Chains A and B, each alone.
Chain A
Amino acid sequence: MTSVLAEQIEPSATGRPTGRPTGRPTGRVRSGRLARASGLAFGVSMLWFSLLVLLPLAAVLVKSGERGWSGFWTAITNEQTAAAVRLTVGHAFLVTLVNMLMGTVIAWVLVRDQFFGKRALEVLIDIPFALPTIVAGLVMLSLYGPTSPLGVDIANSRRAVFLAFLFVTLPFVVRTVQPVLAELDRDVEEAAASLGASSFTTFRRIVLPALTPAIAAGAALSFARAVSEYGSLVLLSGNLPFRTEVTSVRILSSIENDNLPGAAAVAAVLLAISLVVIVIVDVLQRWVVRRG
């Protein structure tokens, strides 16, 4: 089956860095110079992209610097803000660790095992990606909230933050690892076995290193998603200052209090994290392609 995310975030084992173009020109004929019509299209596209994305994001950076370095520093070291950032980054980190383990295990089972109901599990993986985040919060609340049939009520606690992150980041590692694992040459594992390596040793020394870039890329995406999460927490975590308030909620309350420079300062920190993640994923993909 088929994944919604696979193609988007896969550092492909076949050497095709999917999801983004390589530096190699494929337009052999027209490469180098844009024809006039294409030049116009390029200009319009860039203008649109700049007006919609680049300029607004730049505005965030400009706004964050409006009160100078000390203003910026005060904003992000504000006790409540710092607590929110610590909670967000700490939980995002923990959730990413869980995803690296569980995502790899899930990908392994989906690729290597055959059993009734596997297709259904495949569909489940993509649900968190497509579900509106506010609905995701309600979904979690229905099993882990006050009316939980399991009797587990974690609403308005830090565990709710953890759980919400876990839900929304589920697809990332699975969908980056899955295609790489499927492309993995079984000959290589057989070679290791005939050289005397046990199944576990083969996994640890042959399979895992081959999956590492994919796991890392998935982890980076999952971390970025968790750090920027907002919607699923609204109904679930209670947004209690110093307890369950995450960074995005903190930014929102600054906006609602008309403290735009303060909001922008914290947003700039999140933006920096996003940029770092994008660079990491890009470098990993190129590295995989080079290694062949």
Chain B
Amino acid sequence: MSIEVANVSKRFGDFVALDDVSVSIPSGQLTALLGPSGGGKSTLLRIIAGLEHPDDGRISIEGRDATLLRPQRRNVGFVFQHYAAFKHLSVYRNVAFGLEIRKRPKDEIRERVQHLLALVHLEQFADRLPSQLSGGQRQRMALARALAVEPSVLLLDEPFGALDAKVRKELREWLRRLHDEVHVTTVFVTHDQEEALEVADEIVVINEGRVEQIGSPDQLYDAPANDFVMRFLGPVTQLGSRLVRPHDLELRAGEPYGAMPATVQRIVRVGFEVRVEAVTAAGQTVLATLSRTQFQALGIGVGVGSPVSLRLVDGAPSVDTGEDPAAEAVLVGT
């Protein structure tokens, strides 16, 4: 294990940011800390980096107790959401900063910086100032700067949060490829479940200062530990007392066949997807999503007011909410 977080607590005044959190982060992997804003994930990352001090608990990095270690001595690379570029230094000098602090020989610095700039595709921008770069380029520079000191762990705090959607998606794929090349233990914070599911080897879901679940993207998606994790990873709907995913619902026209009977209330088509809202006998509104092909297979007769039946497909994950089935249906969209 590369990073061990044991029983860490942190409060800011009355606000509990982390409540007895323990996490083990494996070496060489890309781990995502996923959760809603204000859930404590950034605080955890900053505590690992030494930028914040835990009120309680211990941190060890590569087997060494780092709880009381100053950030300068932790040998971690940290990448900030808003780049934290050294504005008065060129791209080259930004990347060289950590090496200059370590008083490495000039030749070695030049070689290493050039290698890193090539890695992040910024070779031709070496002499520019950060203000002359785009957001995505600045973040790649920040990444190269963090990697220059050969950190034992690389920590990224919402690294793509300030970028627009398209650049974000590009950089996300690029980070995955980069990680496959460098293999440094990497932890990144995100509130975007798609980002975490796409990029991470392992995901730690954090909410209200507590760890909700730790696992691979598949484990989390296929076996969510509780309704919070299930809701956070994508749209859900409630069928009876169970929380299920709308695309895991099977919808059939006509007579019930041992499933929940319902009446179609509304049909919305969004591109290839058809969303059907149906009301059960108990008055619960359930959302089912079908592909266009599936919907057409139901037959032409299905429209608002048609009787249908709903069933969860075999093996699909669901979580018991323990709530009254007749209660108001819960719809959580993305």
| Direct interface between A and B, CB < 8 A | yes
Contact B80 A195 (CB under 8 A): no
- B: contact size bracket: 20 to 34
Contact A187 B80 (CB under 8 A): yes
Out of B73, B74, B86, which one reaches A188, CB within 8 Å?
B86
In this assembly, does A196 line the interface, its C-beta being within 8 Å of a C-beta of chain B? yes
Contact B71 A190 (CB under 8 A): yes
Contact B51 A193 (CB under 8 A): yes
Contact B101 A201 (CB under 8 A): yes
In the complex, what residues of A have CB within 8 A of residue B74's CB?
194
What is the CA–CA distance of A209 and B86 in the complex, to the nearest angstrom? 10
In this assembly, does B82 line the interface, its C-beta being within 8 Å of a C-beta of chain A? yes
Contact B72 A194 (CB under 8 A): yes
In this assembly, does A97 line the interface, its C-beta being within 8 Å of a C-beta of chain B? no
Interface residues of A, dominant DSSP: helix
Closest chain A residue, CB of each to CB of B130 = A292
In the complex, what residues of A have CB within 8 A of residue B51's CB?
190, 193-194
Contact with B along A170-194 (1 / 0, CB 8 A): 0000000000000001011011111
In the complex, what residues of A have CB within 8 A of residue B149's CB?
195-196
In the complex, what residues of A have CB within 8 A of residue B86's CB?
188, 191-192, 206
Min CB–CB distance B141 → chain A (angstroms) = 11
Contact A191 B88 (CB under 8 A): no
In this assembly, does B307 line the interface, its C-beta being within 8 Å of a C-beta of chain A? no
In the complex, what residues of B have CB within 8 A of residue A188's CB?
84-87
Contact B87 A194 (CB under 8 A): no
B56-86 interface (Cβ within 8 A of A): 70-78, 80, 82, 84-86
Contact A185 B84 (CB under 8 A): yes
What is the CA–CA distance of A195 and B101 in the complex, to the nearest angstrom? 8
In this assembly, does B102 line the interface, its C-beta being within 8 Å of a C-beta of chain A? yes
Out of B75, B84, B87, which one reaches A292, CB within 8 Å?
B87
Contact B78 A194 (CB under 8 A): yes
Contact B72 A198 (CB under 8 A): yes
In the complex, what residues of A have CB within 8 A of residue B70's CB?
193
Contact A190 B84 (CB under 8 A): yes
Closest chain B residue, CB of each to CB of A189 = B84
Contact with B along A269-291 (1 / 0, CB 8 A): 00000000000000000000011
What is the CA–CA distance of A270 and B22 in the complex, to the nearest angstrom? 69
Given contacts A194-B71, A195-B101, contact A187 B82 (CB under 8 A): yes
Out of A187, A197, A205, A292, which one reaches B72, CB within 8 Å?
A197
Closest chain B residue, CB of each to CB of A292 = B131
Given contacts A187-B80, A187-B82, A291-B129, contact A193 B87 (CB under 8 A): no
In the complex, what residues of B have CB within 8 A of residue A127's CB?
none
In this assembly, does B97 line the interface, its C-beta being within 8 Å of a C-beta of chain A? yes
Out of A187, A194, A209, which one reaches B50, CB within 8 Å?
A194
Min CB–CB distance B204 → chain A (angstroms) = 21
Contact B98 A195 (CB under 8 A): yes
What is the CA–CA distance of A193 and B84 in the complex, to the nearest angstrom? 12
- A: contact size bracket: 20 to 34
Contact A197 B131 (CB under 8 A): no
Which of A185, A190, A195, A196 counts the most chain B CB atoms within 10 A? A195
In the complex, what residues of B have CB within 8 A of residue A192's CB?
86, 97
In this assembly, does B49 line the interface, its C-beta being within 8 Å of a C-beta of chain A? yes
Min CB–CB distance B94 → chain A (angstroms) = 9
What is the CA–CA distance of A191 and B155 in the complex, to the nearest angstrom? 11
In the complex, what residues of B have CB within 8 A of residue A234's CB?
none
In this assembly, does B140 line the interface, its C-beta being within 8 Å of a C-beta of chain A? no
Min CB–CB distance B161 → chain A (angstroms) = 13
In this assembly, does A210 line the interface, its C-beta being within 8 Å of a C-beta of chain B? yes
In this assembly, does B247 line the interface, its C-beta being within 8 Å of a C-beta of chain A? no
B76-112 interface (Cβ within 8 A of A): 76-78, 80, 82, 84-89, 97-98, 101-102
Contact B84 A197 (CB under 8 A): no
Closest chain A residue, CB of each to CB of B145 = A195
Out of B78, B85, B87, B142, which one reaches A190, CB within 8 Å?
B78
Contact B101 A291 (CB under 8 A): no
Out of A187, A197, A290, which one reaches B101, CB within 8 Å?
A197
Min CB–CB distance B331 → chain A (angstroms) = 38
Min CB–CB distance B207 → chain A (angstroms) = 25
In the complex, what residues of B have CB within 8 A of residue A201's CB?
101
What is the CA–CA distance of A191 and B84 in the complex, to the nearest angstrom? 7
Min CB–CB distance B78 → chain A (angstroms) = 4
Contact A210 B87 (CB under 8 A): yes
Given contacts A190-B51, A291-B129, A291-B131, contact A196 B84 (CB under 8 A): no
Out of B75, B78, B102, which one reaches A191, CB within 8 Å?
B78
What is the CA–CA distance of A259 and B146 in the complex, to the nearest angstrom? 68
Q: Which 5 A-B pairs have the closest CB atoms?
A: A292-B131, A195-B98, A187-B84, A191-B84, A194-B78
Q: A195-B149, A196-B75, A197-B72 are in contact. List 13 more A-B contacts (CB 8 A).
A: A185-B82, A188-B86, A188-B87, A191-B84, A192-B86, A194-B49, A194-B76, A194-B146, A195-B101, A197-B101, A209-B88, A210-B88, A291-B129
Report which A residues bind B (CB closer than 8 A): 185, 187-188, 190-198, 201, 205-206, 209-210, 290-292
6 A-B pairs in the complex with CB atoms less than 8 angstroms apart: A185-B84, A187-B84, A190-B71, A192-B97, A194-B50, A201-B101
